Structure 1
Amino acid sequence: MKISPVSVAIVSMILPILAQVQQTAGCTCEIDNSGLTFPQSRLLNVQSGASECTKKITSQEMSDVDILLDKLHYRLQQLELDVLKLEEEDDSDGSAQQADLYKAVSLRIIEIELAEIQDLIIKLNTTNTNHQGLSKDFTTKLQNMKTEMEALEKFDRTGVVEKEKVNKQLQKELVQCQADLQVTPAPSIEHVPGNCPHGHLLNVTGPNTYTATEYGTSYPFGAWGRDPKPAAGKENWYWLVVLTSSSVYSNFIRWYSSHSTLVVGSNAGDVIIASGNPTTNTVQGPNVVMYGDALYYGCYNSPNLCRFNMTARTITTVALPNVGYNNKFPFCHLGACYTYTDIDVATDESGVWVVYATAENFGNVVLSKVESGITPLLGRTWNTSLHKRTVTNTFVACGVLYATRFLDKDTEEIFYSLDTVTGQERYDLNLRFRKMSTNIHSLNYNPNDRQLYMYSDAYVLSYQLVFG
């Protein structure tokens, strides 16, 4: 077979190419990726914006409005009750002078409540304004983040974003769980009133004691109780002072060696303060207390506080500056006043206190600490906004002054307190307790058993104070 010159030429061209292909170790190829790269930086920007919003919107900020609304609701309810009480006072019987006095006091209370309501409204408006600004700013930011996330969704064909979000949440929960296991609970920073280790006064229960004295119903005014700092051998003794002259004056203290002997009227003897009744330095008014084996009381016909030493049988006095006495500022309620109750003495964990009123303080209650010594002295003094004629009685517990008011013949209410540590006054305690008789002539707290000792229309009663 004869090969043409053209065929020879073609073969000579193909053979070198085939040899080169056979000598090649491998092959390569190029991939043309026409897809888009996932924009990781944009996702990180969205996450950063979300974290910033979370830090600025806290649960406390979101609850501010609810708290303020609850407070405002309570204050409005209390205001409504006080306005109704003012209307009842306007319709009540009694002298025009007494009616005007009670109206003035009720209006003062309403004025204080209106000021508190106004303050709450201002705080509520301010909080709403701040929240509206936050809402407008965050609405814009959230809308931008939503738009950005919708744009990123087209890259998430294999669930990258969703899985990363789940992993981040799991990591966060793991860190929080580990922190919770290691954390030490923070101590409570709730304010305890006065210098009270027991906490806040929560309730009054009782009466635990309700009995007439051995005098029967002859002497409706008086006081009784136990010495918070008794002399040796008298830790369980009870004392009794009855106003035997005109229901205003007394010149002796009667002792009982136990509660049962008081109930059955078997006394342990009398200690005479003065030979006459009344005379210089005899007891005037029912609001007396025993502390440190000494009787503290308002002195007869003078602006002084007397202390009668039970052992030495001596009397020392301390002047009460500008005090109203001789029935100028007694305890009262809408129906009547308790005569010669200008000076009220109280005991608590820290010692002796005296409650009175002055014209300089517009007839409002003044509280002074009585410092013990050879001669008693007045210590620190607090002027309050509480008008004394609106109060039926007072007592001090743990450095807090409490005041009661008459609701009806069966019910009394502890409505007011003054914290001597912070100076804060409150008119909204609303602690009610049951009375067995209409009137309260004396009321005193004993810190040893945390009981209130009351003398009421010739009966002696005791109530338990509940703290917590």
Structure 2
Amino acid sequence: MWMKVILLVSSLVLASEGQSRATFQRGNDHSGRCQYTFTVDSPAEASCASANRGPEMENVKSRLTLLEVMVSRVLGGGGSGGRAMVDAQVVLERDQLQQDKEQLNRQVQELQRRVEELTVETGRLRDQPCPSAHGIPTLQDFSQNTDHGESRKTPRGNQYYSLVSRQHRSQGKSPALQAPVGSYPTFQLGNAAFQELKAEVSEVPAPHRVQESIQNHTGCGEVVSVGVPQTHRKADGISGKYGVWLQDPESPGVPYGPETVWRIDTVGKDIKQIFAYENMQQLVRGFPSKVVLLPEPVESTGATVYRGSLYYQRKRSRTLIRFDLASENLAARQDLPHAGFHGQYPYSWGGYTDIDLAVDEEGLWAIYSTSKAKGAIVIAKINPDTLQVLQTWETNIRKNTVANTFMVCGRLYTVASYSSPNTTLNYVYDTRTKESRAMAVPFQNRYRYNSMIDYNPANRKLYAWDNFHMVTYDVRLGRPGSV
């Protein structure tokens, strides 16, 4: 009510400012109440139509009522309305960020695919022999197309070459390679009938260390080099970011042979499935021949396959399990004494890798730590039938400072980093001498998140799971200290 009075008074005052004739009267009405009367002459109207004044006032009243309602809403319900607006803005921003994230993920996947293609192409080009410049035959060409100095026709341009060795040796000269006139214009000088290309061949003995490595290639020795990773397959979906894949180095042959590939995706709440592939080609194609259900869930990426059985750590425990793959039965179970588990002593990349089972030329091993060892790596030789601990070795290498480990010929090797593309095998511990020492054998993490490394003594390869990718490395052995 007071707002209406104020608006009426204001309009009358403004009208009075614009007119020259305005009167103000004060007096009592018929009931004795005091009244104020303002009189302003209209510049446009001679008389007022009282019938038209009613709708205009009703319009003003309705607008004022609407204004009052809006003001009351702002003053009374401002908290909930403000929160609703903020929540709506947050939802919009969240949706936009999700779209940006999906777009960036697609770009990252495309870049990874292109990098992988370029890497494969680089390896293919590296393996190809370099062609001879300008079609000039190399010594290898002559060695393949000559026999004890006799002239033979080569497939290149139907040219004839002669390796003159016996005559020149008898004359005390170096062997020479002769080509017919006009074969290579670039080498013709003046009116010379032909250009003689000379090549002296001599035998150079291999360095002592190389000879040692070659001699020990068929037997046990120390790792002297690890080859570049070869990619076999990329896992599909988020469940394949971490996992285990390997082949049995001592397969019984029935029903699974040495070519069978085993794979476990270790991302999930309860990991109980192991996939069997007939061979590496079927793994690449993604066609498993069988899916086996395990009796107990798997913990992390420390499982291994040996002599027809899967060996793994039961989830959230220090219990080791031997699962017979042929009969699909639990063959043995045994606690690993004092071993830490479920994040007490993992590798540097995490993943509950407290207990890592490994196989080499000498049998089955467990790599772990205990509270007594205070986080240092403990190696245990395990009976593959009963899972009993036969012997243990405590090293001076802290488990959480290395990315992963594997066993070769009774020696433990540690990998320095799981994410650096160019890292090293940085320590080796020999269970025979009970000594460890630093080393620097180059090692590559091509996809920059290596969560599993296992050695296969049957083919001298490392099997690794690197950020969705299943890769292998060739391993070369030599005598201890030959690196």
Instruction: After TM superposition, give the deviation of residue 438 of structure 1 in Å.
Output: 1.4
2:277 alignment partner in structure 1: 256
Q: Which of the numbers 237, 241, 245 marks the counterpart of 2:268?
A: 245
> Where do residues 118-137 of structure 1 align in structure 2 (5 Å cutoff)?
none
1:228 alignment partner in structure 2: 249
What residue identity is the alignment partner of 2:294? I
How many pairs were matched up?
Answer: 262
Structure with max Cα Rg: 2
1:200 alignment partner in structure 2: 222
* Distance in 2 of aligned mates of 1:407 and 1:317: 31
Q: Normalising to structure 2: TM-score of the pair?
A: 0.52
* Distance in 1 of aligned mates of 2:400 and 2:293: 32
* Distance in 2 of aligned mates of 1:467 and 1:395: 14
1:17 alignment partner in structure 2: none
Instruction: After TM superposition, give the deviation of residue 231 of structure 1 in Å.
Output: 2.6
> Where do residues 453-464 of structure 1 align in structure 2 (5 Å cutoff)?
453-464=463-474
> Which deviates more, 312-321 or 382-391?
312-321
Q: 1:407 to 1:354 in 2, by over 3 A?
A: closer
What residue identity is the alignment partner of 2:287? S
> Where do residues 443-462 of structure 1 align in structure 2 (5 Å cutoff)?
443-462=453-472
Instruction: After TM superposition, give the deviation of residue 354 of structure 1 in Å.
Output: 0.4
Instruction: After TM superposition, give the deviation of residue 408 of structure 1 in Å.
Output: 5.3
* Distance in 2 of aligned mates of 1:284 and 1:198: 31
Q: Which of the numbers 304, 311, 315 marks the counterpart of 1:296?
A: 311
Q: Which of the numbers 397, 400, 410 marks the counterpart of 1:399?
A: 410
> Which deviates more, 452-461 or 308-317?
308-317
What residue identity is the alignment partner of 1:203? S
* Higher relative contact order (CA closer than 8 Å, sequence separation 6+): 1
Aligned residue for 2:400, secondary structure, equals: helix
2:10 alignment partner in structure 1: none
Instruction: After TM superposition, give the deviation of residue 456 of structure 1 in Å.
Output: 1.4
Aligned residue for 2:446, secondary structure, equals: coil
* Distance in 2 of aligned mates of 1:259 and 1:366: 33
> Where do residues 13-92 of structure 1 align in structure 2 (5 Å cutoff)?
none
Aligned residue for 1:414, secondary structure, equals: strand
Contact 1:406 1:413 in 2 (8 A): yes
Contact 1:217 1:457 in 2 (8 A): no
2:286 alignment partner in structure 1: 265
* Distance in 2 of aligned mates of 1:300 and 1:383: 24
Instruction: After TM superposition, give the deviation of residue 269 of structure 1 in Å.
Output: 1.1
Instruction: After TM superposition, give the deviation of residue 197 of structure 1 in Å.
Output: 2.5
Q: 1:425 to 1:283 in 2, by over 3 A?
A: same
* Distance in 2 of aligned mates of 1:391 and 1:409: 12
Contact 1:222 1:287 in 2 (8 A): no
What residue identity is the alignment partner of 1:208? Q
Instruction: After TM superposition, give the deviation of residue 204 of structure 1 in Å.
Output: 0.3
Aligned residue for 2:389, secondary structure, equals: strand
1:345 alignment partner in structure 2: 357
* Distance in 2 of aligned mates of 1:403 and 1:227: 22
Contact 2:379 2:392 in 1 (8 A): yes
1:437 aligns with 2:447: yes
Deviations 1:85-144 (A, max 9, x none): xxxxxxxxxxxxxxxxxxxxxxxxxxxxxxxxxxxxxxxxxxxxxxxxxxxxxxxxxxxx
2:431 alignment partner in structure 1: 420
Give identity over the alignment, percent: 29
What residue identity is the alignment partner of 2:460? R
* Distance in 2 of aligned mates of 1:440 and 1:287: 13
Deviations 1:37-59 (A, max 9, x none): xxxxxxxxxxxxxxxxxxxxxxx
* Distance in 2 of aligned mates of 1:294 and 1:390: 31
What residue identity is the alignment partner of 2:410? G
> What is the RMSD of the two structures over their aligned residues, measured on CA atoms?
2.2
Instruction: After TM superposition, give the deviation of residue 399 of structure 1 in Å.
Output: 0.7
1:358 aligns with 2:370: yes
Aligned residue for 2:219, secondary structure, equals: coil
Deviations 1:16-65 (A, max 9, x none): xxxxxxxxxxxxxxxxxxxxxxxxxxxxxxxxxxxxxxxxxxxxxxxxxx
* Distance in 2 of aligned mates of 1:211 and 1:302: 31
1:135 alignment partner in structure 2: none
Instruction: After TM superposition, give the deviation of residue 402 of structure 1 in Å.
Output: 0.7
* Distance in 2 of aligned mates of 1:269 and 1:349: 28
Instruction: After TM superposition, give the deviation of residue 407 of structure 1 in Å.
Output: 7.5
* Distance in 2 of aligned mates of 1:378 and 1:314: 22
Instruction: After TM superposition, give the deviation of residue 416 of structure 1 in Å.
Output: 0.8
Q: Which of the numbers 270, 286, 293 marks the counterpart of 2:301?
A: 286
Q: Which of the numbers 328, 336, 339 marks the counterpart of 1:313?
A: 328
Unmatched 5+ stretches in structure 1: 1-189, 191-195, 275-280
1:330 aligns with 2:351: no
> Which deviates more, 257-266 or 228-237?
228-237
Aligned residue for 1:430, secondary structure, equals: strand
1:382 alignment partner in structure 2: 393
Aligned residue for 2:229, secondary structure, equals: strand
1:107 alignment partner in structure 2: none
* Distance in 2 of aligned mates of 1:297 and 1:438: 25
Contact 1:452 1:463 in 2 (8 A): yes
1:40 alignment partner in structure 2: none
* Distance in 2 of aligned mates of 1:297 and 1:218: 19
* Distance in 1 of aligned mates of 2:267 and 2:227: 30
> Where do residues 91-170 of structure 1 align in structure 2 (5 Å cutoff)?
none
Q: 1:323 to 1:389 in 2, by over 3 A?
A: same
Aligned residue for 2:397, secondary structure, equals: strand
> Which deviates more, 408-417 or 321-330?
408-417
Instruction: After TM superposition, give the deviation of residue 203 of structure 1 in Å.
Output: 0.3
Instruction: After TM superposition, give the deviation of residue 212 of structure 1 in Å.
Output: 0.3
Q: Which has the higher helix share?
A: 1
* Distance in 1 of aligned mates of 2:415 and 2:344: 19
Aligned residue for 2:364, secondary structure, equals: strand
Instruction: After TM superposition, give the deviation of residue 338 of structure 1 in Å.
Output: 1.7
Instruction: After TM superposition, give the deviation of residue 200 of structure 1 in Å.
Output: 2.4
* Distance in 2 of aligned mates of 1:452 and 1:407: 15
Contact 1:209 1:463 in 2 (8 A): no
Unmatched 5+ stretches in structure 2: 1-211, 213-217, 479-483
What residue identity is the alignment partner of 1:338? G
